[in-house]
Structure 1
């Protein structure tokens, strides 16, 4: 029996938890899948499933074999796709994950422009502030804020992740413009809540260093909600530059204390593209990394 077909049938059976459901998905008979798994078990000298009239469950050996089988099939799929694209334009599907706020700030526009350049390629974009395991989620590439020393990942820095303090002209007309770090405490802050953050703002200018804990009436784990409140004149906000660059340029927001540097928070000083180190970057992954890097550089964020 063809070993690759047997592996495909084993993986499908494991994922569906049933020979009949896997057979229906593959367009084969349950007996064909039972036979394929039996061949693998004979070859390995170990049972891959515990079978009963009520359930089908992976054995310990089956769990180990499933992980390797998935990697083999995925590597072959990627190799086949790469060989095809040596002769043709980029095609297939690129699966990408990124933080929610990247969407309206720049990723919406970037994805549309990337698709226009590669009409044979599909993009599946998942925007989430939850941490996504790339392999378990079947994701090719992640964009994240962070640092470049992440274990098990190939990391490509794309842009600086600078932070700025902002407020709307309406808020500043009503409440005044802070001239020193200490005066920030006299104002309402819009507070981003995240388990990795300690809520302090750290500013520096030359040898001067300031650390303060802002106070405010509105806090949220959603950046875009806070940004909308900032635009509506409800307070000061610590913002990544990439999220407010256009708003600063248009005058909808004003940068505060521009002579001071706001230290990077726990999210780190860079926007990164990353993928697992044991998986080489396919042409579609490389193409997107190059494209988004150039997109951000053109907006002077690099």
Structure 2
């Protein structure tokens, strides 16, 4: 089933993964307990065996080649599978343990996921959570993410998805701002208002609205743009303009009247609306620690979401 050549390459492939992850031979060699020159010879031997160039070496940094990226992606799958084989052999007689790396958008972490972290860790004292705030699109495999929460209507088809519930975007402003500037009655009115937007990419100030078959795109402007949801919400409450928020971020402020909805009959279209999706790589042998985390979130979180 396995050739001797392949078996001989396995340690070199594992070393290669570490070099890519660490970004240098020096850092990877330190973790492996070898010299940088010895590790460099290992990678050269691997390149010769595979007949590909894995890195473009410069005096300042390592740049992975296109072929090197493909080798890396497959090698990570191999090492993960080996790790899972070890874990599954222990899962029947040990409490779930080990590290889980979780990624989620900043707003979702603050408003929804944060209250579940401590109870989960208290229930499973042998598990460690590494939580990373990541917005936008990204590759779980390359970032070493075990499970990701994504707010999207186009989940990654290459990953397993558990839909935890829907999420919608809400346009709102403070009562004082509306009193002083008037209430917009159509998306085009927003051109004459101060609007708070993310300012992460060029299109963040272009907002799309849909009502029945009526579609409007409007370019907004304002004196304050920020990609931190709570700071943006604070700006809206202080009368700096009109902003867009996920329903789970704005619910409490809507309930207490510190903000009021704007154009509530219109649906805001965005890459960040649709489903709250829990995504992770397909695997035959899922580590026990990951299984209990996914089960815990899928059981506890939906009941806390806005219906």
TM-score of the aligned structures, taking structure 1 as reference length: 0.74
In the other structure, the counterpart of 2:15 is 12
In the other structure, the counterpart of 1:119 is 125
- Secondary structure of 2:164's aligned partner: strand
Which whole-Å CA distance do the structure 2 matches of 1:157 and 1:143 have between them?
10
Structure 1: tracts of 5 or more residues without a match: none
In the other structure, the counterpart of 2:207 is 200
Given the alignment, which residue of 87, 111, 118 partners 1:81?
87
In the other structure, the counterpart of 1:95 is 101
Quick one: structure 1 residues 209 and 223, their matched pair in 2 at CA, closer, same or farther if it must change by over 3 Å? farther
After superposition, the CA RMSD in angstroms is 4.3
Q: Does structure 1 conserve the Cα–Cα contact (< 8 Å) formed by 2:12 and 2:46?
A: no
Matches within 5 A, 1:125-136: 125-129=131-135, 131-136=137-142
- Secondary structure of 2:140's aligned partner: coil
In the other structure, the counterpart of 1:150 is 156
Structure 1 position 6, deviation (Å) = 6.6
Structure 1 position 295, deviation (Å) = 4.2
Which whole-Å CA distance do the structure 2 matches of 1:215 and 1:31 have between them?
55
2:110 is equivalent to residue 107 of structure 1: no
Structure 2: tracts of 5 or more residues without a match: none
Structure 1 position 271, deviation (Å) = 1.6
In the other structure, the counterpart of 2:276 is 271
Which whole-Å CA distance do the structure 2 matches of 1:298 and 1:89 have between them?
27
Quick one: structure 1 residues 261 and 76, their matched pair in 2 at CA, closer, same or farther if it must change by over 3 Å? same
Q: Does structure 2 conserve the Cα–Cα contact (< 8 Å) formed by 1:8 and 1:73?
A: no
In the other structure, the counterpart of 1:248 is 254
Quick one: structure 1 residues 219 and 151, their matched pair in 2 at CA, closer, same or farther if it must change by over 3 Å? farther
Structure 1 position 127, deviation (Å) = 0.7
User: How many residues of Structure 1 are paired with residues of Structure 2 in the alignment?
Assistant: 293
Which whole-Å CA distance do the structure 1 matches of 2:289 and 2:145 have between them?
13
TM-score of the aligned structures, taking structure 2 as reference length: 0.73
Shifted more, 264-273 versus 212-221: the winner is: 212-221
